[in-house]
């Protein structure tokens, strides 16, 4: 198994892409920390993960709240003693044309999508540095590279994820910590379902491979980056978009 006895801390693992990443890593032997704000989805995910024969630990976590994050990481440390893999997946995606944008709208998105990643990564990376090993994977978006009409706040935060990750790859490399990014293209998830279904034909026209992405496509990339198969890869962005954008 590629991740046997590893501990993976995954934000937003209760549903969608995060849940699929959790299941994929669990199928390869990793014990999973489900760090999510929605307790109902956490418990359902926990049951499915444990059915794969590994341990699952659900901890309610508001990544926009530094103290909530610190408490979650402390609870995980007491339970597992370590965190080998961090997947920064939790995010929000709410439409707001720029001329209608308010400061509160901007801050709400930034506090989760970017500052939230700072909170989690800072807490977990400190633990990884003590153990002299770790893998950090953050989920960005194709929108970080080509922009996204009516979602300037979202695109900006996802670009910030890339800048942060490339910097951390340099700073944390001496601690044997690898830091990479996955940039999904058009994906069919609970968060994007309405937008994708309303514009499906237009999206398909942009994707050379001819289909909309699904969470498993991202989970497969995350498994690769989390495993020793990618042991010499850090500071990189893996574009998983069916060819809709080349960078």
Clarify whether 245 is annotated catalytic: no
Residue 201 burial (C-beta neighbours within 10 Å; 0-12, 13-18, 19+): exposed
- Please tell me which residue in 154, 175, 203, 232 is annotated as part of the active site: 154
| Dist. CA 100–CA 28, nearest whole Å | 46
Alpha-carbon span 46 to 31, nearest angstrom: 11
Instruction: List the catalytic residues.
Output: 154
């Amino acid at each position: 198994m590629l991740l046997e006895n590893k501990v993976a801390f995954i934000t937003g693992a209760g549903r969608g892409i995060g849940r699929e990443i959790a299941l994929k890593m669990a199928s390869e032997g990793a014990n999973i920390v489900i760090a999510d704000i929605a307790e109902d989805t956490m418990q359902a995910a926990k049951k499915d993960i444990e059915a794969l024969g590994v341990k699952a630990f659900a901890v309610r976590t508001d990544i926009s709240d530094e103290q909530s994050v610190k408490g979650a990481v402390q609870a995980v440390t007491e339970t597992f003693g370590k965190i080998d893999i961090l997947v920064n997946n939790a995010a929000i995606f709410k439409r707001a044309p720029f001329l209608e944008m308010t400061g509160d709208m901007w801050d709400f998105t930034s506090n989760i999508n970017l500052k939230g990643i700072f909170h989690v990564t800072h807490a977990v990376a400190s633990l990884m540095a003590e153990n002299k090993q770790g893998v950090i994977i953050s989920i960005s978006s194709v929108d970080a590279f080509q922009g996204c009409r009516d979602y300037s706040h979202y695109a900006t935060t996802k670009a910030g994820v890339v800048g942060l990750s490339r910097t951390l790859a340099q700073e944390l490399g001496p601690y044997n910590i690898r830091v990479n990014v996955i940039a999904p293209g058009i994906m069919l998830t609970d968060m994007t379902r309405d937008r994708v279904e309303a514009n499906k034909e237009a999206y398909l026209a942009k994707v050379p491979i001819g289909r909309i992405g699904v969470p498993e496509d991202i989970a497969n990339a995350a498994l690769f980056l989390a495993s020793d198969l990618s042991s010499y890869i850090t500071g990189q962005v893996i574009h998983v978009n069916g060819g809709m954008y080349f960078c």
